């Protein structure tokens, strides 16, 4: 029963769950399942937010939780080889003494696994200037649906041939099961500064985001939280956020000491010019960690306010933030729901959290309608339906909003090359033609 749901959705209990420890065991399991025509669903830590690891119509869950070895650390070549069950944060811990880290940092980085990050092409606050998972994966070992094993990429950049690594990253377990990942390691910066800019108006915070970009500044992270979220977070984590603010921006810059000092002054000036009430710089590593602890524990903090919440993952151009937040406010009023906003403002990746009581069927219906309205508006403003959580079963019926039928047909053809019997993670990513609400939401 523990394997019938992920962080978004529940479906049904799998027919069986297996726990391989090697690539050979995964291959043998997949061959056996293929001979029986049994669907196979690869699973990491179950922290996914799009229903990507849930069972829809029965099948075999292949839990990769026991494949958790860091196989090699090669500091000289700035890379590491890991199994898919390695927790994201553990990679950075393993290389910290060498002065390195693994950059992609989802808010769930202390629980989510590298294999799941590869499947969903996960991001995080600190990928604003360095990119998402695909920018930090050099090569993969993959078990295909017939049990054969392929190796993509290499330990260096620009291997000749087709970019199968790029194709696999973000494919959500529909093309193969990743059993080994070669990741890129990044040197830790010489200096880091974290700033908290406080605003009495949300529009001033969003104007600051646009102004930062216009100045040609690319922070390591640029996060935004509205007043509703601030009060929820502060009650749960005591991070030192102001309770009376309409919004805050959490900005981080890193690099050479002199560069960081200069940029921090410039960011403070930009925030002040855009009517920030105050700009506070973390004075110690402990204070910086506390500010980030509040941000990364935000979703958990909301759990104190309602039995359930549904987090969105839309993307819009930074210049449309004011319009989008105004629209979310309209949706909140229209459907009679509370919505808190917390998001990666620097790259326009929104995470509205819709609060509700899952025991009330009417509320559940309104939550689905509100979510679809928000996603549709993101697309209308020139954005996308997902920035880092993936498509899964949550948004597969929304794919036609951003792709033409020719686009989708090409994706189906690619999928059929790798997964001709559709036994790997069936029902995910590609639209089925059913009404969105029929399939998507059995929200936790």
Q: Give a yes or no: residue 18 inside a domain.
A: no
Q: Is the pLDDT of residue 439 over 50?
A: no
Q: Give a yes or no: residue 271 inside a domain.
A: yes
Q: Which CATH number fits the domain that encloses residue 373? A: 3.30.70.2740
Question: Which structural domain, as residue segments, surrounds residue 227?
Answer: 191-295
Q: Looking at residue 441, what is its pLDDT?
A: 52
Summary mean pLDDT of the chain: 94
Q: Give a yes or no: residue 19 inside a domain.
A: no
Confidence of residue 438 (pLDDT cuts 50, 70, 90): very low
Residue with the larger pLDDT of the pair 200 and 161: 200
Mean pLDDT of 114-131: 93
Mean pLDDT of 151-167: 85
- Model confidence, pTM: 0.93
Q: Looking at residue 121, what is its pLDDT?
A: 97
- Decide which of 127, 158, 187 is a domain's last residue: 187
- Decide which of 261, 295, 329 is a domain's last residue: 295
Q: Looking at residue 436, what is its pLDDT?
A: 47
Mean pLDDT of 410-434: 93
Q: Is the pLDDT of residue 60 over 50?
A: yes
Q: Looking at residue 102, what is its pLDDT?
A: 97
Q: Is the pLDDT of residue 79 over 60?
A: yes
Q: Looking at residue 160, what is its pLDDT?
A: 85
Q: Is the pLDDT of residue 142 over 70?
A: yes
Q: Which CATH number fits the domain that encloses residue 200? A: 3.30.70.2190
Q: Looking at residue 434, what is its pLDDT?
A: 60
Mean pLDDT of 101-111: 94
The structure tokens 């509320």 sit at 363
Q: Is the pLDDT of residue 440 over 60?
A: no
Mean pLDDT of 316-322: 92
Q: Is the pLDDT of residue 174 over 50?
A: yes
Mean pLDDT of 8-19: 90
Q: Looking at residue 437, what is its pLDDT?
A: 45
Burial 180-214 (b: 16+ CB within 10 A, else e): bbbbbbbeebeebbbbbbbbeebbbbbbbbbbbee
Is-contact 172 199, C-beta < 8 A? no
Q: Are residues 199 and 142 in the same domain?
A: no
């Amino acid at each position: 029963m523990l394997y019938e749901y992920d962080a978004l959705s529940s479906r049904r209990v799998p027919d069986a769950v297996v726990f391989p420890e090697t690539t050979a065991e995964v291959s043998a399991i997949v061959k056996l399942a293929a001979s029986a025509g049994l669907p196979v669903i690869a699973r990491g830590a179950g922290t996914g937010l799009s229903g990507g690891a849930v069972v829809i119509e029965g099948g075999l869950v292949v839990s990769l939780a026991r494949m958790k070895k860091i196989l090699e650390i090669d500091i000289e070549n700035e890379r590491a080889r890991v199994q898919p069950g390695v927790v994201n944060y553990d990679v950075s811990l393993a290389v910290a003494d060498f002065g390195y880290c693994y950059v992609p940092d989802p808010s769930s980085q202390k629980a989510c696994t590298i294999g799941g990050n590869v499947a969903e092409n996960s991001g995080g606050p600190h990928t604003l200037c360095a990119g998402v998972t695909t920018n930090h994966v050099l090569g993969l070992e993959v078990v295909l649906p017939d049990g054969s094993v392929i190796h993509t990429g290499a330990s260096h950049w620009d291997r000749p041939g087709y970019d199968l690594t790029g194709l696999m990253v973000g494919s959500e377990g529909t093309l193969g099961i990743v059993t080994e990942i070669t990741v890129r390691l990044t040197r830790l910066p010489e200096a880091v500064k974290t700033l908290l800019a406080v605003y009495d108006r949300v529009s001033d915070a969003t104007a600051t985001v646009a102004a930062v970009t216009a100045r040609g500044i690319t922070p390591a992270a640029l996060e935004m939280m509205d007043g509703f979220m601030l009060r929820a977070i502060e009650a749960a984590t005591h991070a030192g956020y102001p309770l009376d603010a309409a919004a805050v921006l959490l900005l981080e810059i890193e690099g050479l000491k002199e560069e960081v000092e200069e940029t921090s002054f410039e960011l403070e000036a930009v925030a002040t010019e855009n009517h920030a009430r105050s700009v506070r710089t973390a004075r110690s590593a402990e204070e910086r960690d506390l500010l980030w602890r509040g941000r990364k524990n935000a979703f958990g903090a909301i759990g104190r306010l309602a039995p359930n919440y549904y987090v969105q993952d839309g993307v819009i151009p930074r210049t449309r933030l004011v319009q989008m937040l105004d629209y979310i406010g309209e949706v909140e009023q229209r459907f009679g729901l509370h919505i808190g906003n917390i998001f990666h403002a620097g790259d326009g990746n929104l995470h509205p959290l819709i609060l509700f009581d899952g025991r009330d069927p009417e509320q559940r219906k309104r939550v689905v309608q509100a979510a679809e309205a928000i996603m549709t508006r993101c697309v209308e403003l020139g954005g996308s339906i997902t920035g880092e959580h993936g498509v899964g079963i949550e948004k597969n019926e929304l794919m036609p909003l951003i792709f033409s039928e020719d686009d989708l047909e090409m994706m189906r053809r690619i999928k059929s090359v790798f997964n001709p019997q559709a036994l790997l993670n069936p029902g995910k990513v590609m639209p089925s033609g059913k009404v969105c609400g029929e399939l998507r939401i059995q929200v936790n």
